[in-house]
Each structure stands twice: as C-alpha cells, then as structure tokens.
Structure 1
Amino acid sequence: MTTAPATEEATPQHDREPRRYDVAILGGGVIGSGWAALLLPTGNRVTVITLRADGDDRLRAAIRQQIAASPRTGSCDNMGRLTITQSQDAIAGAAVVIEAVSEDLQLKQQLFADVADRARADALLLSSTSTLLPEDLGAALPSPSRVVVAHPFNPVHTIPLVEVVTGETATDDITSRARDFLTDVGLVPVALGKPIAGFVANRLQTALLRESIHLIQEGVATARDIDEAITESIGLRWAAIGPFLALHLAGGTNGVRGWFDHIGRGLGAGWTQLGNPELDEQTIETVIRQTETGYPQDLGELTAYRDERQLRILAARGTATQHHPEEKP
C-alpha cells in the first residue's frame, strides 16, 4: 500500500515548535491504538493501559500497521517509546490522559474519578467519546469541567479532525491547552460553541445516513449505489470545501445571498420530503445484506483500500496550488 507524504492539511502550521508529551491512553481498542499510532511517530511517549493480559503483541502489531498507513512524518522506529501495561501507575507521570474505552457512561465516570486521584494536578484529561458530554463524564470529580471531550474520527491516525467539547464552566486555560496539544500532535481541532449531544460531524453524518437508509428502504438505490453517488459527487466536493462555501460559490456574483434568492427559499419544502425510516429488523437486515453483497472482499483488504484513498486525498489537498483563503502561501 502506498503511504502518502505528510501534508499541510494533515499537519497544521504552528507559530511555535510542537511540544512532545508523555501521554497515557486508557483502552487498547481501535480508538486507543489509533491514538497511539498518531502520537508515536512524532516523538511522544505513550503508555497504553489495557485490561487484556494477553493483548501486548496484538496491540503492538495493530499500532505498527496503523503507523505504516499514517500520512504524518515519523516511523515505527519510535515504537521504543511505547509501553503497554495493565497498571494505572503510569497516569501519575502523564501530561495528558486520554480515555478511549467503550461508550458506557458509568464506566467512564469511574475511570475519570480514578484518574483524577492519580494524575498530576495540571494533567489534561481527555475523552474520546462520540456521544457523551464532558460534565457528565466528569460528574464524580470535584471539578467536572476538568474533563474535555476530544472526539477523533476513525481511523484516528488518518483523519485530521478532532471535535473539542468543554463544559460550560471550563476555563479558557483548559480549552487552550487542549487545543494546543491536539494541534501539536497533528490534528485539526474544531471547538464547539456549546455542548450538544452527538457534536457536529456525527450529527451531520447521521442526517445523511438516515436519508440513505430511507432510500434503501424505498427501493430507490442499493447501499453500493448510494456509496458511489456520494463519493463521486458531494463527497468529492466536501473533501475540498464545506457545504456553506459550496453554496457561496454556487450563487453567482452575489455568492450565498444570490443562492438563497434564487434557490434557497424553497429549501424548507424539500426537507418535508426527506425520510424518517424505522430501523426494524427487516430494514437492518436489508442494509447488512446489501453492504455485504456490495463489498464481498476481506475486511482487511477493504481497510487498506480505504486508507490508501484517504491518504491520496490528503496528499492532493496538501499539494494544491491554491491555499485556503485564511492561509498564507
């Protein structure tokens, strides 16, 4: 598989040299190993704390495989900076603690309570949750707003976005330090203006998935057809620009104002025609069957296919001759 070079998109620009961190990761699953694969190549020290006594070799192999498919600089030579353990003692020396366990609120709350007792007073406490709010996660802490959601996207080592969600009483210092860390390790943090369940990208993704399942349910298109319709049109566009810049460019000389004057006024009427499918057993089975039929290949082969295409897109964005309007050439 071809590994693309580091890109401007995947490696944000800094006004200072990126720092290196001692990081403890709670959980060695897909997200935990993805965090490790993101952090190790650029010289951070990483300790993965896992409950599996027999998971050392498996986890190291998974991290090596992900590093090999990473768009960021570095190599597997930094695997010497990785420690895998079942002990939480490593938390005491970590500048950053990242929780990456299953979406179980009580489990996460207990973990953060334990972490707060062991961690440095100035340690960043980050959660990888994709659904839960920060002050709920930190409910057992003296200061619940100490927990910051840093929601990455799978695969963590490839997708640049990380959503940052802080509690309503979080200090500017915590928010700033979280953003600095995430930028230093090569991610693109987007901070939400206020907490909301599902955050931003997952809510948008869910809206698209809901309509996609509706189209399958109505027999309009198959799962494979819908994938192709997206990747060959709006997906390609959105890899370059977001939906609102797309509207701005579609409105002629008046930009987005022109778009709303000529097309956008009827947008609300179209919303009433969108589906709200019931996820009954028949619908679920239909989606599963169509997806498995449309993609009969081994999952490992499909993963490699996904990673290579994403890396090529990142590389293309990074070598584009035109810069983002806010960027300097």
Structure 2
Amino acid sequence: MEIKKIGVIGTGNIGACQATLIVGNGIACSVIAHSEAGAERCRETVRRNFETFIEHGLATERNRDAAMELLTISHSYDALAGADLVFEAAAEDLNVKHAIYAAIEAVVDADTPIASTTSSIPVDDLCAGMQHPERMLVAHPFQPVHIQPLVELVGGSCTAQSALERTYELLIALDRKVVRLKKSVPGFVVNRLAQAMFRESLYMIEQGVADAADIDLAVRYAVGMRYASIGLLEYFDDVGFDLEKAIAQTVYPDLCAVDSVQQIVQDGIAAGNTGRRAGLGLYDWSKKDDADYLRRKTAPFLNDIHWKLPE
C-alpha cells in the first residue's frame, strides 16, 4: 500500500522513536511539538537513534541524512493534513488527549485512523466527544519503540473494523509484529503476562524460594530462550494437555494469588529504594555494570531490523 505521510503527536521518547521508525522506512513523518525544547529534543533523539544504527552497521550516513529529510517537526496541527495515520503519544491525561483529538480531527480526513500509544486508557474513554469516534483505536508499542517490533492493536465499541484493518496494514508496512486483541482488557496481552510473572517472582523472593539473580537466571536461560523461538502456547500444545493438567494440579494451589501490591514493593517505595534509577531495588545497582545492562537491553532487537531505509 502507498503511504504518503504519518503524523506523530508528542516529542518524548515514544514519539521520537516512533518518528525514527517512520522515516527509517522511507515515509514522511510530521511530528507536532508543543515547545521549541521538545522539538529540538525530538530531532536530536531521532538523529541519535540513527547514529546507533550506523555504529552497528545497520545504516549508513546516507540513510541517516535521507531519513532526517523526511522528518518535519511543527507547532501547527495543519502539518498533519494528508496524513494516512496519526499516532498520539502524549501524556496519560484524558483531558489532554481529548484536546489533541479535536485538533487532529480539524485537519485530517474523516477516515484517517488516530492511534493512541496508551498502555492504560480504554478506547471507549479516548473516543468520547470525538466527531468520528469510529477512527479511534490503540496501537500500544514497547520501548525502545523503534527497535522492539511488537505492537498491540486494540479497538473499542466505537472503533470501525475498517480503521483497525487500515492501521494493521500500516503497521505491517512499518515492519511491526501486530497482536490484534479481540476485546480491550486492562494491561492488554503483554503487560498481563508480565504482571503475572512479576507477581510470582516477587512472591518467590518473599517466600525465600530464590533471590532475584537466580530467578532472572531461570528466565534468561530457560523461559526467555525457549519462548523466543517457539510460542508459550505452542509449547503447551507440544507438552500436551494431559501432562500440563498433572503439573497444574500440583503447582496451581501453591502459586501467588494476591490481588494487591506486594509488601516487598511497598517497603522499597517507603525506603526510597525503587530500582535502578534509585541505585537500589531488588538489586544493588552500584555493583552492576550499567553499560553492560543497557547493551543487553537493546542487543536482541538490533538483530531483527528489516527496514526499507531511504537513500
């Protein structure tokens, strides 16, 4: 499909990395900034992302320069006119988002999808008061947005199937892997799976089963490696319902079933030990190699980039 232009609202990390993805696939991108500082920060983030690609042999300076030519950052919503899709990556504030949608609807075509990157607000709340609520949906990415390929596509009772299909096609054109939810639920798919693992992992620490490092070792070298190449439910089918039933009957009764935030988290917050940025959390980050952690955080995704880089 021919894609002329994609709009992005927001100049934070999500918006800037979304813009990187768009221009990195040879598509014009109009970013709406609400301050000069935000505009400059966005441009610098996009350029820095391409510098990283160049360092890893994934792009050339010519690719970078051609991509930067496709990037427009404006303070006027008029720059969105003619966009095939608009991503909204603004603050998680409904009043802010509703004002943004009104401004978008004033300049784009009536059937142009508007995709929020929210991870928490239901589509039916987002579309309230819109002229064309049938265009509203969620396309929830994962950070780093430009290199982590998964996007969760979610509609609401207001969303037209045509808007979902059009957005799906546009995301595929951007080299995304798209999970299409049949209905909206808190946390969508990925965060529900993640929270289930977080809850059980914290429970095992509290119960003295294992410490954080050993649990992470189990995830990295068993769970992570296995399910990176085959799906979780592919494996379930491979093992078989009969054996999985026997395992479940033994394990399920002993699993964590709390429905409130665990004490280990509450205590950490009270003490100011909130994780990596604080220097202490489940790990003592003063004893960890932060550069190595950041390298490991992005390395797997750099191996799976298949963009249509502009020249």
Alignment TM-score > 0.5, same fold: yes
Q: How does 1:198-277 map to 2 (within 5 A)?
A: 198-250=187-239, 259-267=240-248, 270-275=251-256, 276=258
2:105 paired residue among 88, 92, 116:
116
Q: CA deviation at 1:265?
A: 4.0
| Aligned partners of 2:114 and 2:137 also within 8 Å | yes
Alpha-carbon separation, structure 1, partners of 2:4 and 2:210: 48
% same residue? 31
User: CA 1:278–1:116 in structure 2 vs 1: closer, same or farther (change >3 Å)?
Assistant: same
For structure 2, list consecutive stretches of 5 or more residues without a partner in the other structure: 307-311
| Aligned partners of 1:126 and 1:150 also within 8 Å | yes
User: CA 1:210–1:105 in structure 2 vs 1: closer, same or farther (change >3 Å)?
Assistant: farther
Q: CA deviation at 1:148?
A: 1.2
How many matched pairs? Answer: 290
Question: Is 1:306 aligned with 2:297?
Answer: yes
Q: What letter is aligned with 1:100?
A: A
User: CA 1:298–1:122 in structure 2 vs 1: closer, same or farther (change >3 Å)?
Assistant: farther
Q: Secondary structure at the match of 1:229?
A: helix
Q: Which is worse superposed, 155-164 or 86-95?
A: 86-95
Q: CA deviation at 1:248?
A: 2.1
1:281 paired residue among 263, 266, 270:
266
| Aligned partners of 2:111 and 2:163 also within 8 Å | no
User: CA 1:263–1:148 in structure 2 vs 1: closer, same or farther (change >3 Å)?
Assistant: closer
Give the aligned partner of residue 34 of structure 2.
Answer: 51
Alpha-carbon separation, structure 2, partners of 1:93 and 1:111: 17
TM-score, normalized by length of structure 1?
0.79
Q: What letter is aligned with 1:278?
A: Q
Q: CA deviation at 1:295?
A: 6.8
Q: How does 1:37-116 map to 2 (within 5 A)?
A: 37-69=20-52, 75-77=63-65, 78-116=67-105
- Superposed CA RMSD in Å reads 2.6
Q: CA deviation at 1:291?
A: 4.5
Q: What letter is aligned with 1:281?
A: Q
Q: CA deviation at 1:267?
A: 1.2
Give the aligned partner of residue 16 of structure 2.
Answer: 33
Alpha-carbon separation, structure 2, partners of 1:129 and 1:263: 35
Alpha-carbon separation, structure 1, partners of 2:288 and 2:74: 35
Q: What letter is aligned with 2:3?
A: R
Q: CA deviation at 1:290?
A: 3.8
Alpha-carbon separation, structure 2, partners of 1:297 and 1:19: 47
User: CA 1:268–1:38 in structure 2 vs 1: closer, same or farther (change >3 Å)?
Assistant: farther
| Aligned partners of 1:69 and 1:307 also within 8 Å | no
| Aligned partners of 2:22 and 2:29 also within 8 Å | yes
Q: Secondary structure at the match of 2:106?
A: helix
Q: CA deviation at 1:68?
A: 4.4
Alpha-carbon separation, structure 2, partners of 1:38 and 1:158: 8
Q: Which is worse superposed, 128-137 or 105-114?
A: 105-114
Alpha-carbon separation, structure 2, partners of 1:292 and 1:97: 40
User: CA 1:128–1:273 in structure 2 vs 1: closer, same or farther (change >3 Å)?
Assistant: same
User: CA 1:55–1:297 in structure 2 vs 1: closer, same or farther (change >3 Å)?
Assistant: farther
User: CA 1:265–1:298 in structure 2 vs 1: closer, same or farther (change >3 Å)?
Assistant: closer
Q: What letter is aligned with 1:306?
A: K
Alpha-carbon separation, structure 2, partners of 1:143 and 1:44: 25
